Chain A
Amino acid sequence: MSLKNQDIDKIARLARLALTESEVPAYVDSLSRILALVGELERADTSQVQPMAHPLPGQRQRLRADEVTASDSHELYQRNAPQVEAGLYLVPRVIE
């Protein structure tokens, strides 16, 4: 499977990654190689196999009671935020 520059542009856009023009050719090459590697999976006959999403058989998602267990720590958490004002995260204007 060989990708083109436009494919990488599209994937990067979907992944919300800004790439510089000089980065694109290297990703065209390396992602094509990776897709060739994973193409080997076609060799396996999986017609009778259920997909496996979890490595431990029989595990179920646990549920807990719908009760408040955490306390409000937003001030502590927002210390790591790039831009905060009045307890709110600041981003560029979205609605004019």
Chain B
Amino acid sequence: MTALHELSVAELSQALRTRTVSSVEVASAFLSRIEQHGPGLNAFISILREAALAEAERADARLRAGEAGALIGIPIVHKDIFCTRGEKTTCGSRMLANFVSPYDATVVQRLRAAGVVMLGKTNMDEFAMGSSNETSYFGPVRNPWDLQRVPGGSSGGSAAAVAARLSPAATATDTGGSIRQPAALCGVTGLKPTYGRVSRFGMIAFASSLDQGGLITRSAEDSALLLAAMAGFDERDSTSVELPVPDYAATLEQPLTGLKIGLLKEFFDNGLDVGNAQRIRDALEVLREQGATLREVSLPNLPLSVPTYYVVAPAECSSNLARFDGVRYGYRCENPRDLLDLYQRSRGEGFGPEVKRRIMTGTYVLSAGYYDAYYLKAQRVRALISADFERAFHEVDVVIGPTTPTPAFELGAKTADPVTMYLNDIYTIGANLAGLPAISVPCGLVQGLPVGLQIIGPHFSEPRLFNVAHCYQRETDWHRRAPPGYV
């Protein structure tokens, strides 16, 4: 029999419902792998063995009682940005190193209700600000394909854990590429849903007009099964959308005949590694063989997405992170002289260098005399980028390109200059600015390192994205390949 850690969510679901295996056995198998491989990768901030086994027992009781839910007894790991009742929720920061959440995020609550078993909380860039997982207060995560390389970020722990088969699935969040970029660099499937599709309640805020919760899994099929349980209207999130959640699994197998794919001209620029470009062209050929047609589309304002993002995101971050004041929760400095000293030192000592950099950038662009020149200007360019996508979707059903310019880079390679690091997100940020859903699927290796194919669709086109990604994965096996050493 195939080892449990090699099974997909769909296969585990089948095995659990036919009682071939129990939820406790599944959870134990993955917990052992987490304890064996987790520390070497530094993928976890908390491992929740006892709580997980108790949840697994409850799942087994539900299965014994004949409950039909497809996700009962399926293990998952949560990015440590999602609040989990009674457990530490650190957001990768010293500021929240001892914070125990009094409530569950809606995402966590819904998955719990569906019978999903939480095994642990994954490492991440501090407050999700980073593209390499090197800004975590708890140290960098390592890429299971090469331990000297970064897993990407900010959801680096979630991506590394799924790639190394320490969990069949992980939750993650994406503000400028934080699901898709680490998924691409670790050889797994990463879905960023449409803005408003998944509740942001209990998901610690970074940039609220861009933040969106999603999933890292091995396959699009697994992502579809889990999104169905996570998505949907939540009155506790003021930007949650009141639309029914489709049956994502039902449309996975739809034929691609007649699918119009737009090739994003601006993505195939000088910055794209030739190896990555070749893998993307190979993948497009696979889709064309299934009846899809290709044409080039141009989004002329897309090259401005990085500068736009680095005004909008820091501005929202500086506002959101003002809540950390050393008074109500979080880190407090020793012996404050007065209230101002308490605020300033608690924040100065509690936040790491990248978070402070973004708070200061945001403070600057919002300050008197600069607001129009930076913030309003960026919001106008954001409208131009969004309109570019809208025009493209009049001509094509989805647009496709690379997820990242290169495969995973070495630890420390881009920490000296933040702008070099920021430019790594050049292909992912556009979807966040326009609020569009996007998925990254593994499409090959370049010098032994994974490369991701990115598919972006119109608002609420998740069924189409899953369909295209699934049809690609039916014909290829890149998503089945485990990093050597984690087979």
Contact = CB atoms under 8 A, between A and B. Distances in A.
Given A30-B418, A92-B339, A51 B100 contact: no
Nearest to B372: A51
Contact of A12 (B209, B360, B379, B418): B360
Interface in A25-84: 26-27, 30-31, 33-44, 46, 49-56, 59, 61-62, 64, 73, 76-77, 79-83
B381 A41 contact: yes
A12 B340 CA distance: 13
B337 A92 contact: yes
B44 interface: no
Counting chain B CB atoms within 10 Å of each CB, which of A42, A54, A82, A93 scores highest?
A82
B357 A30 contact: yes
A96 to B, nearest CB: 11
Contacts of A79: 100, 102
A11 interface: yes
Contacts of A86: none
A46 B377 contact: yes
Given A16-B344, A31-B357, A41-B307, A55 B386 contact: yes
Contact of A8 (B347, B360, B377, B419): B360
Contact of A89 (B311, B328, B360, B376): B328
A41 B378 contact: yes
Contacts of B336: 92
B245 interface: no
Given A11-B364, A31-B360, A81-B328, A18 B345 contact: yes
A38 B378 CA distance: 9
Contacts of B380: 44, 46, 49-52
Interface in A1-29: 8, 11-20, 23, 26-27
Contact of A91 (B209, B342, B364): B342
Contact of A80 (B307, B328, B342, B374): B328
A44 B304 contact: yes
A60 B195 CA distance: 14
Contacts of B382: 51-52
Contacts of A20: 348
Contacts of B328: 77, 80-81, 89
Size bin of chain B's contact surface:
35 or more
Given A40-B307, A46-B381, A56-B435, A80 B100 contact: yes
B365 interface: yes
A46 B375 CA distance: 13
Nearest to B101: A80
Interface in B421-449: 422, 432-436
A39 B361 CA distance: 13
B360 A27 contact: yes
Contacts of B365: 38
Counting chain B CB atoms within 10 Å of each CB, which of A23, A79, A80 scores highest?
A80
Contacts of B432: 55
Nearest to B375: A51
Nearest to B300: A44
Contacts of A17: 344, 347-348, 351, 356, 359-360
Contacts of A19: 348, 356
B464 interface: no
B12 to A, nearest CB: 34
Nearest to B361: A34
A43 B374 CA distance: 13
Contact of A34 (B331, B332, B351, B418): B418
Contact of A41 (B343, B367, B377, B422): B377
Nearest to B383: A52
Contacts of A82: 326-327, 329-332
B334 to A, nearest CB: 11
B301 interface: yes
A69 to B, nearest CB: 10
B370 to A, nearest CB: 10
Interface stretch (B33-41, B235-243, B277-285): B235-243
A38 B102 contact: no
A77 B408 CA distance: 41
A46 B386 CA distance: 13
A31 B361 contact: yes
Contacts of A39: 307
Contacts of B349: 18
Contacts of A56: 194-196, 239, 241, 435, 459
Given A41-B377, A51-B382, A91-B339, 14 more contacts: A11-B364, A17-B360, A30-B357, A30-B418, A35-B364, A36-B419, A38-B374, A41-B304, A41-B378, A41-B381, A44-B381, A56-B435, A77-B102, A82-B332
21 contacts: A13-B344, A15-B318, A15-B347, A15-B360, A17-B360, A31-B360, A33-B417, A34-B357, A46-B377, A50-B383, A51-B380, A54-B209, A55-B195, A55-B436, A56-B196, A77-B329, A79-B100, A80-B98, A81-B329, A91-B327, A94-B338
Interface of B: 98-100, 102, 194-196, 209-210, 235, 238-239, 241, 301, 304, 306-308, 310-311, 318, 322, 325-332, 336-345, 347-349, 351, 353, 356-357, 359-361, 363-365, 367, 374, 376-384, 386, 417-419, 422, 432-436, 459
